[in-house]
A and B are shown apart, each in its own frame.
Chain A
Amino acid sequence: MNASHDNVYDALGESDHEGRWAYGAGFDETVVEVTAPAPEGVDRADLAAYCLMLADDALVASQRLSEWATHAPELEEEVALANIALDLLGQARVLLSRAGHLGAAERFRTPGLAAGLSDEDVLAYFRDDRSFRNVTLAEMDLGDFGRTMAWILVYSSWRLALMTTLRGSADPVLAAVAGKAVPELAYQREYAAGWVVRLGDGTAESHARMQAGLDDVWPFVTELFLAHPVETRLVEAGVAVDPASLQAAVDADLAQVLPVATLTEPTRPAVGLVGGRGGRDGVHTEALGKVLAVMQSLARAHPDATW
C-alpha cells in the first residue's frame, strides 16, 4: 500500500481548522465574557432572572426543534432545522452561563452534584419545570411540518424584534448575545416564511394543514407581549426590552406573510393564565414537564458525573 497517499490522516490534505467542521458547535466562541460586571445600579437577581427567561426561551425551543432530527420531510430541511436548533442552543448556553455567573445556579447545586458541573449544565439539567422561565410558546408540541413552520415564523419574528432592540442593552453580555442572534433569527424568519407561503399556497391538503398549524400556535401568541415585573424593572434600567413593544413588529411580519400564503389570521382565544401567572412565573403547560423528563434523564441518573 502506498503510505504517502493513504495515511488516514495525512491524506486529508489540508491542515485542519476544527471549528469549520462542526458548524454551530463552537463552544468557545463566546462573544463577550459572561463574567463582565452587571451595569451599575442594576439588581443582580433581576438581571439573572432576565437572562434565564431569554435562555429558557431558546433552550426549550431548541430541544423541541431537535425532535425533528431524522424525521424531516427532505434532507435540506433536516439540515435547516438542525441549524436553527443549534443557533438557539448557542444563545441559550451563553445566557445560562451569564445567569450562573450572577448567582442563579447556586441554589440548584445540591450536595450530591459533581463539583465540576458548569453553571449552564446545572441550570439546564437540575432545575424542575417550575423554575423554568420560558414563555409557553417555546414548549408546545411542534406537531407536523406545517405547525412547526408557523411556530418558527411567530417565534423568530418575536425574538428577532426583541434581540434587535436588546443590542442597545446596558448589559454588555445581553447586547453581545443580541448582536450575534439578530442575523441568526433573520434567517430563521425567512426560512419559515418561505415554507408558510409554499404550504399555504401549495396543494389543498397543505393549505388546510398550514392553516391548522397556524391556528394551533395562535393561542400562545398573547403571552409573548406580557411584561413580567422583572422585565418592567429592567426596562427602566435600560437593560431589558418591553415585551409590549414587540407586538407591532410581529403583527407587521404576519400581515406581510399571511395574505401571500392565502392564510387567514386565526381567531382562537389565548391560552389562559393560572391565577394571572404564566411561563415567566414558572407556571407552564403540562408539556414542559415531559420535555424536561427526556432532556434531563441521563444527566440526573449520574448526578456525580461530568460529561
Chain B
Amino acid sequence: MDRDEQQLAEAFDATVAAEGRIEPRDWMPEGYRKTLIRQIAQHAHSEIIGMQPEGNWILRAPSLRRKAILLAKVQDEAGHGLYLYSATETLGVDRTELTEKLIDSKQKYSSIFNYPTLTYADIGVIGWLVDGAAICNQVPLCRSSYGPYARAMVRICKEESFHQRQGFELLMTLMAGTDAQREMVQDAVNRWWWPSLMMFGPADGDSPNTQQSMAWRIKRHTNDELRQRYVDMTVPQAAALGVTLPDPELRWNDERQAHDFGDIDWNEFTAVVKGAGPCNAQRLAHRRAAHEGGQWVRDAASAYAAKQAERATRRQEGEVAVA
C-alpha cells in the first residue's frame, strides 16, 4: 500500500466508523467491494428466485382480491431485484453477468426458496414467516455503510413489511374459516418454520465472514442475534393466530428474557445450500429457461437501438451536408 492509498484507507475507515456512507465514487478496499457485490447479488437473486414459489399460485388464487394481492407482491419482488441489481452496477458489475453467475450456480440465493408451495396457506405463511425473517435480516441494512444499498433497503423493507401484514391477514382469514382451511395453515407452518429459522444462516461459530462484515458496517448483527429476535417476535404472533410452532423445546426463559428453542437440523441446511433441496434444480432450470428463452427479445432490442443510433447519425450527417 503506498502513502496515498494508506490515506484513502484511513479516510474510508474513519467514514465507516463514524456511521457515514460510502458512495460509488469513493475509494473502497477491494475486499469491501467484493463482499458487497456478493451480498447484494445474493439478495437480488433471492428476490428473483423467490418469485417462483409464489408465482406457482397466481393463476389459481382462490379469490380475485387474493389474486390482485399476490400478483402485486410478485411484481414488487421483480422491482426489488431491479433496485438491487442496480445497486451492484454502482460497484462495477452488470445484471447480465450476475444473472449468468446465478444460472451457472456460481452465486447463491436464499435457500428458503428451494422449498415447494403446496397449498394456498403457504402463500400466507411465506408472507408471515419468510418475509418476517427477511425483515429482521434487512431492516438493519437500511443503515449499511454503502449508500446505494442502504437506500434500496429502505424502500424494500417498507414493501416487505406490507407483504408480511398481507400474509398474516390471509392466515387470520383462513384460521377463522373452515376446518380444512385451518388444517392447511397448521400444515404450512409445520413445513416452513424450521426453514425460516435457517434463513439467518449458520450459527455464529460457523460464520467466518461475520466479523469483517460487521466491522465494515455491511452487516450489523450476528446470525444468532437476529434469529433470536425473530423467534421472540414470532411466538406471540403464532399465539394470536392460534397455530402451534412445531418445536417441543420452544419456551420462554425468564432468566434470559428470551425464548429457548430446539436445535436446527444443520445437515438439512447444508444439503439445501449445496443444491440438494426439494426444488433447487427446478428453480434454476426455470430461471435459465426464462433467461435463455428471452435472449432473442433482448437481442432484438439491442439491434433496434443500434439501428436507431445509426439512423440518427446519418440524419445528422445529412443535415451537415445540406448546411
Chain A residues within CB distance 8 Å of chain B: 1, 5-9, 11-14, 16, 18, 21-25, 27, 59, 63, 66-67, 69-79, 82-83, 85-86, 89-90, 92-93, 96, 118, 120-121, 124-125, 145, 197-199, 201-203, 205-206, 209, 294-295, 297-299, 302, 304-307
Which residue of chain B has its CB nearest to the CB of A81?
Answer: B75
Q: Which of A69, A89, A304 has the most C-beta atoms of chain B within 10 angstroms of its own C-beta?
A: A69
Q: A74 contacts which chain B residues (CB < 8 A)?
A: 294, 297-298
Q: Is the CB of B229 within 8 A of A305?
A: no
Pairwise interchain contact B62-A307, C-beta atoms closer than 8 A: yes
The residues of A that contact B165 with a CB separation of less than 8 Å are: 18
Q: Are B300 and A202 in contact (CB under 8 A)?
A: yes
- A12 and B157 form a contact (CB under 8 A): yes
**Cβ B71 vs Cβ A66 within 8 A:** yes
Q: Are B78 and A22 in contact (CB under 8 A)?
A: no
Q: How far apart sit A85 and B70, CA to CA, in the bound complex (Å)? A: 12
Check if B178 sits within 8 Å of A302, measured CB to CB. yes
A203 lies within 8 A of B68 (CB): no
Contact A306 B158 (CB under 8 A): no
Which of the residues B63, B154, B170, B300 comes within 8 Å of A206, measured between beta carbons? B300
Across-interface contacts of B81 in A (CB, < 8 A): 75
Q: Judge whether B266 is part of the interface by a CB distance below 8 angstroms.
A: no
Q: Which residue of B lies closest to A146 (CB)?
A: B297
The answer to whether B154 touches A72 (Cβ under 8 A) is no
Closest CB of chain B to A218's CB: distance in Å?
A: 21
Chain A residues, CB < 8 A from B276:
none
Q: How many residues of B contact A (CB 8 A)?
A: 71
How many pairs, one residue from A and one from B, have CB atoms within 8 Å of each other in the complex? 196
Q: Looking at the complex, which one of B48, B64, B72, B140 makes contact with A22 (CB distance below 8 Å)?
A: B72
B136 at the A interface (CB under 8 A): yes
B18 contacts chain A at the CB level, 8 A cutoff: no
Chain B contact residues, CB within 8 Å of chain A:
48, 51-52, 55, 58-69, 71-76, 78-79, 81-82, 85, 95, 120, 135-136, 139-140, 142-143, 154, 157-159, 161-163, 165-166, 170, 173-174, 177-178, 180-181, 220-221, 225, 229, 233, 286, 289-290, 293-301, 303-304, 307
How far, in Å, is A70 (CB) from chain B's closest CB? 4
| Given the contacts A73-B293, A73-B294, A201 and B64 also touching, CB distance less than 8 Å | no
CB A153 to nearest CB in B, in angstroms, measures 15
Q: How far is the CA of A18 from the CA of B266 in the complex (A)?
A: 38
Determine which of B74, B76, B289 lies in contact with A21 in the assembled complex, contact meaning CB atoms within 8 Å: B76
Q: B-side binding surface: helix, strand, loop or mixed?
A: helix
Contacting pair B300 A299 (CB below 8 A): no
Residues of chain A within 8 A (CB-CB) of B142 are 11, 13
Whether the Cβ atoms of A69 and B51 lie closer than 8 Å is yes
A302 to B166 Cα, complex, angstroms? 21
Q: Is the beta-carbon distance between A67 and B296 smaller than 8 angstroms?
A: no
- Which residue in chain B gives the minimum CB-CB distance to A23? B72
Which residues of chain B have C-beta atoms less than 8 A from A23's C-beta? 72, 75
The one of B59, B78, B174 that contacts A78, using a Cβ cutoff of 8 Å: B78
Q: Is the CB of A305 within 8 A of B300?
A: no
User: In the bound complex, do residue B162 and residue A18 qualify as a contact, i.e. CB atoms below 8 Å apart?
Assistant: yes
Cβ–Cβ contact B68 & A75, under 8 A:
no
Is the beta-carbon distance between A295 and B178 smaller than 8 angstroms? no
Apart from A24-B75, A298-B61: 20 A-B pairs, beta carbons within 8 A: A6-B139, A8-B139, A9-B161, A21-B76, A24-B71, A27-B65, A27-B68, A66-B59, A73-B295, A75-B81, A76-B82, A78-B78, A83-B75, A120-B64, A124-B64, A125-B63, A145-B297, A297-B60, A306-B177, A307-B174
Contacts of A206 in B (CB 8 A): 296-297, 299-300, 303
Q: Which residues of A contact B300 (CB under 8 A)?
A: 198-199, 202-203, 205-206
Residue in B78, B181, B296 whose CB lies within 8 Å of A302: B181
Contact A92 to B71, CB < 8 A, known contacts A16-B158, A206-B303? no
* CB-defined contacts of B220 to chain A, threshold 8 Å: 6
Distance in Å: Cβ of B257 to nearest Cβ of chain A: 13
* B63 in complex: contacting residue of A75, A78, A307, CB < 8 Å: A307
Q: Are A69's CB and B64's CB within 8 A?
A: no
Cα A72 to Cα B297 in complex, Å, equals 10
B69-A295 in contact (CB<8A): no
Could you list some 24 contacts between A and B, CB below 8 A?
A5-B143, A6-B221, A12-B139, A13-B142, A16-B158, A22-B159, A24-B72, A71-B293, A73-B297, A74-B297, A79-B79, A82-B71, A82-B78, A89-B67, A89-B71, A96-B64, A121-B63, A197-B304, A202-B303, A203-B296, A299-B62, A306-B173, A307-B170, A307-B173
